[in-house]
Structure 1
């Protein structure tokens, strides 16, 4: 039986329709050539910000976490806000790589590796804040459920302990998922490099990959299994993070809308961060033919949808406060919208809900400058 399929034609891997050898060249070029001035500028800015962060942490360790505004009864302040922020940023990578993979959304292929890497670094950064906010991170070993000479034991009914297990599981699965997806690329770099040291390193981490049918079969199977593991983690991790607030009895926090609200907000902010990183990376490394405008436009549509979900959650918070008939609950939300910090609340609503409605217009969805500003 004859077939009309021409197997000599390479399949389209990225929506920009470059061939496989063009993709390999684009991936390998930054590692095989001297860094451009644009890369050095970006590295300098990042290094400066890292140095400032290290100095600020040093001051915090020396003078104490009272520098952050912590007092009684305000026990968390900046560290818990940063923890929730960075965990949320890390959700977009797994969403792009796992959920969109399960739904066979091919436009994810050009951006999945960036998103996965950003997820790992974001979750690692988030994991620092529970240690830092103790004020004495060198005693953090007592936070683990291990027998010790002081007979200290963790409180497993505390949401902070749930965070430890949720975030560590999420980091482990995300790292394995990212590494498995990276193996074919490492093998490609191994075959291209002429340096013996680099070839040895790439050979170790590519695990003997030879691009054979057998290897691809096992690769696709384990990638699908890990995508199945990672998908519920996207929902469960930020749900557990929301329990830091929802299981308390404080008015304004003790509400069942927090889990879906936090998940939608995490996907929303995570996509915005991935997009901003992609806009910079595609310009520095000349990847416009791989990270196309069509891909960025689809990301804007996801941000539009999740932004409306977040806006719905904002509105439902006020409705629940009114419907409950609890005067303390009503006071919290009225004070939030019309009290001393009303300016901060309405800036948040404007940035998260109102400005994202501009993505209804195609010209703005495909405008690099506009999407970068809205993403920020």
Structure 2
């Protein structure tokens, strides 16, 4: 289908433009490079933010303030304020860490891997996916430091010469985790910022006030769009994408090895690295869908985030859900095939014990609900999409709770069994991290373009949309 064959944007009713359609191209007709640039630049260059932005930021900062309070109290009183103890020494801190890093990994998958694959539809989504990655990784990085007990000594994880000749244990998966997260957060920020540079230069040139010119001019680092600069830029951007693509797989595989490397009931399995990668993709796709539905309307991006994007993301959500379902089946198979009585007892407790509702809720949210995405009509229904995506995000958190708590509470020795009960400070840290993430995304879409303008220009210039539909 060509852009010209789609209904003209000026002829569409408001409801038609807001609602994704099955025959939508990647970019609706009626858009030119000039109108596209004007439209995307309008939000960051606006003198005043709209009411919905201030209201959303106020709610997000309220949640974030809860995180500040909980962290302050944690530093003062110690990790005893959490519900952790013996035998459940890992609690919400590790659950939240794994959950957030999975969401971050899914955003990198969309931005980096699909860039290398030359997929054109990602150009409308990669900025939001990269923004999601940066702030989700920031949320994830907080929790391991909080879990150290003496977080002000976090630098002891670094291998550096010291007077006590103490070195980290290089055979520990936790040290691998430290290096993986450090490399991932650093690379994610660089990838996001580097992708912003041409658009920052555009904002600098269009800025109306001296303050905006200085702000965007400094961030643009002198980018002027010369042939030489573009040549070096595209080479460097491709190299960063090539680095990020395998890193998104390795970082969550290492998170899985944190568990697989321990001789704990339910953890000591070689399937954990791919199992965690499947979960990362599922939660990442769900979070992107959850973000684009409201932002598409609030930022008036209906011409650039169309039914084509909902259709593709719905299929990717379905595919990753099927992969995760396979991992759940393999978990049951290997448990009974292995014949370890402790493993079998733990699995029976998981599916039929006092926490069985969490296990079956995980199955419903992560496996059954995404099956709705088989229908194109439902993939284009924004209410259904939000419901399924929100269910997946909740289901992935419940899965992490099940993995951490239900394995630790039932060890090999029945005499060492125990229970875990989260405290108010556990829940405040979770809600506070959600507030930090939401506030970060809101600030990003207010001061930076929500869509990559320099990548979208190639699509808008193309009169024949057939090459886009890959």
Q: TM range, normalised to the smaller chain?
A: over 0.9
Q: 1:247 aligns with which of 250, 253, 261?
A: 261
2:193 is the counterpart of 1:175 = no
1:366 to partner: Cα distance: 0.3
User: Is 2:207 aligned against 1:203?
Assistant: no
1:167 positional shift: 1.0
Mean Cα deviation higher: 214-223 or 297-306: 214-223
**Separation in structure 2 between the aligned mates of residue 111 and residue 373 of structure 1, nearest angstrom:** 20
- Unmatched 5+ stretches in structure 1: 1-12
The answer to whether the 8 A contact 1:89-1:270 is kept is yes
TM-score by length of 1: 0.93
The secondary structure found in structure 2 opposite 1:15 is coil
Q: Which residue of 1 aligns with 2:28?
A: 16
Q: Deviations over 1:285-341 (max 9, x none)?
A: 111212222212211111100011111101110000111122112112111111110
Alignment partner for residue 231 of structure 1, among 245, 250, 254? 245
User: Could you say which residue in structure 1 is the equivalent of 2:354?
Assistant: 340
1:254-333 maps to which residues of 2 (within 5 A)?
254-333=268-347
Which 10-residue stretch deviates more, 38-47 or 182-191?
A: 38-47
CA–CA separation in structure 2 for the residues paired with 1:180 and 1:249: 42
Alignment partners' CA distance in 2, 1:260 and 1:250? 19
Q: 1:46 aligns with which of 60, 64, 74?
A: 60
Q: Partners of 2:35 and 2:339 in 1: how far apart?
A: 63
Which stretches in structure 2 are left out of the alignment for 5+ residues?
1-24, 391-470
Match of 1:155 in 2: 169
In the alignment, which residue of structure 2 is the partner of 1:102?
A: 116
Contact 1:142 1:148 (8 Å CA) reproduced = no
The structure 2 residue matched to 1:56, chosen from 70, 76, 94, is 70
Following the alignment from structure 1 to structure 2, what is the Cα–Cα distance between the partners of residues 91 and 16?
30
Deviations along 1:7-28, one digit per CA (max 9) or x if unpaired, are xxxxxx9533532222222221
Q: Does 1:216 align with 2:230?
A: yes
The structural deviation recorded for 1:234 is: 1.0
Deviations 1:46-89 (A, max 9, x none): 11111122222223233322232111222111111111011101
Cα offset, 1:261, TM superposition: 0.7
**1:251 Cα deviation from its structure 2 partner:** 2.1
Separation in 2, partners of 1:284, 1:38: 8
Structure 2 partner of 1:356: 370
Shift of 1:149: 4.4
* Contact 1:273 1:375 (8 Å CA) reproduced: yes
- C-alpha distance in structure 1 between counterparts of 2:33 and 2:348, whole Å: 57
The residue aligned with 1:141 is: 155
Partner secondary structure for residue 80 of structure 1: helix
Q: TM-score, normalised by structure 2?
A: 0.75
Q: Is the contact made by 1:308 and 1:353 (CA closer than 8 Å) also made in structure 2?
A: yes
Alignment partners' CA distance in 1, 2:154 and 2:187? 23
SS at match of 1:90: helix
**CA separation in 2, counterparts of 1:178 and 1:32?**
20
Rounded Cα–Cα distance in structure 1 between residues aligned with 2:381 and 2:236: 38
- 1:16-45 Cα deviation digits (max 9, x unpaired): 353222222222111222111111121112
Q: Distance in 2 between matches of 1:219 and 1:197?
A: 26
Q: 1:217 offset after TM fit, Å?
A: 2.1
Number of residue pairs matched by the alignment: 364
The alpha-carbon deviation at position 222 of structure 1 amounts to 1.4
Helix, strand or coil: the match of 2:95? helix
1:83–1:127 Cα contact (<8 Å) kept: yes
8 Å CA contact 2:26, 2:309 repeated in 1: no
